[in-house]
Every structure is written in structure tokens, then in C-alpha cells.
Amino acid sequence: MARRTVRFLFDYISPYAYLAWTQVGPVLARQDADLELVPILFAALLDALGTKGPAEIPPKRLWVFKDTFRHAAHFGVPFAPPPAHPFNPLLALRLTAAPMEEPQRKALCDLLFKATWGGGPGVIDEAALSTLMKDAGFDAEQLLAAAKSDEVKAKVRDNTEAALQAGAFGVPSFLVGDELFWGLDSLGHLERHLAGQDPLTPADLERWRELPAASHRPKGR
């Protein structure tokens, strides 16, 4: 049987994406699946769908920090808020989308996630990022130049548009073929799907698709 590929749709702005990154490796190893990194702009998903991010809803913003702090403690992974949140993640996303070998991309992704949520300096300041990458053995000048190219900027836009077309509405999301799993708490469902033990049948899905809506909330409420 050919190895399957799980596409990991992520944005560094999401603490749940960071936590999922720390946990997805063993899931895929157990199921003989490969990981493809797909950096996307979460804000563009929100704009396209007309929704707000968790950090834009004050009570939810605080709740998310408490929830992710507890998850991190449970997983035993480093966790600290970035210097500011929300922030502009485009430079980090473009760095990750730059041309490179996949093992290098995964190492860079790990570095940038830790810089954001593992007690690092964040990923907003270019000079700090350059130092961080150099210290980790990356060619920082080459990567920063690539990140500013039209081709790489278009790659992140294309990734985001493809994510929307695939039905993504948040991060982290995982795509196995055209089946989408959303959120840190979907990792168990993802593993069961990869193992051929997904309880959802096509008949179950059709019943939900055909369910009529009996109430509609007015726009703006």
C-alpha cells in the first residue's frame, strides 16, 4: 500500500496549530503517513468567510490562552505567549513557503513555532528572525530574499485559496485527500481515519447534508 500524505494547514498565529505540530508526528508515524506543510494566512480565511478570529473576541481571547496553556502542560511542551497577539505572520509563512528540501522546511517550521509559542522572540521582527535562523544553521539571507519574492508571496496566497476551496475555515486543519479534520482535538479522529476506523459513513453524511434549517439568524446579530 502506498504511503498516504496528510496536508497540515497552519498559521503561526494559532497556538492550537503550534500544539498540533508538537503532537502530529507520532500519529503519522503510527499510521505510516507523511506530512506536507501548507502555510496559509488564517486572516484571509476569516475575511473570505466573514468571521472573527478568537483573538478578536475578548472573552474568547483569554479563554484560548488558558485552554492552550493547559494543553501544553498536559503534553509537556514549552508554552508562552508571543510578544504580541494577534500579530502579522506573513513573513514567517513566506519563509516556510520558500523553496527548500522538506526536512529543512520542517526544521524551519519547528524553529518558527518555538519562536512564537515556545518562549522565543516572536516572528515579527526581521532582524530577530535573521539571527534566530543563522544561529540554527539556516542561510538566513537566502531565505529572507526568497520570502520577499513574488513567487513565494503567490505561493502563500495560492495555498490559502486552495485551503478555502477544500473547505478549510480555521487552523490547524489536516487534509487527507478531500477529507478535512479541523483543530487540535481532531487528531484522534485523523488517526482513526488513517487506520481505516472512521465511524462516519457516506449515509451518515448525507443525512446531515439533507437536514433542513428551521431558523435563520438575521445578519449583523
DSSP code per residue over 41-96 = -HHHHHHHHT---GGGSHHHHHHHHHHHHHHHHHHT---B--SSSS---HHHHHHH
Instruction: Answer whether residue 62 is part of any domain.
Output: yes
- Cβ-contact 164, 8 below 8 angstroms: no
Asked whether the predicted pLDDT for residue 195 surpasses 90, the reply is yes
The boundaries of the domain holding residue 97 are 4-209
Instruction: Answer whether residue 108 is part of any domain.
Output: yes
Number of structural domains found in the chain: 1
DSSP-derived letter for residue 218 is: P
Place of cell 496566497: 157
| Confidence at residue 220, expressed as pLDDT on a 0 to 100 scale | 58
Instruction: Answer whether residue 220 is part of any domain.
Output: no
Instruction: Answer whether residue 135 is part of any domain.
Output: yes
Q: pLDDT tens digits for 134-149?
A: 999 999 999 999 999 9
CA 146/CA 133 separation, integer angstroms: 14
- Cβ-contact 161, 1 below 8 angstroms: no
Other CB atoms within 10 A of residue 76 CB: 8
List residues bridging with 6 in a β-sheet: 35
Instruction: Answer whether residue 130 is part of any domain.
Output: yes
Tell me the one-letter amino acid at 106. K
DSSP-derived letter for residue 145 is: H
Full strand arrangement of the beta sheet holding 179-182: 33-39, 4-10, 173-176, 179-182
Predicted TM-score (pTM) of the model is 0.95
Instruction: Answer whether residue 218 is part of any domain.
Output: no
State what percent of residues in the chain have pLDDT above 70.
98
Instruction: Answer whether residue 47 is part of any domain.
Output: yes
| Confidence at residue 218, expressed as pLDDT on a 0 to 100 scale | 82
Instruction: Answer whether residue 203 is part of any domain.
Output: yes
| Confidence at residue 1, expressed as pLDDT on a 0 to 100 scale | 61
Q: What angle do CA 74, 112, 177 make, to 5 degrees?
A: 75
Find the CATH number of the domain harbouring 149.
3.40.30.10
Asked whether the predicted pLDDT for residue 78 surpasses 60, the reply is yes
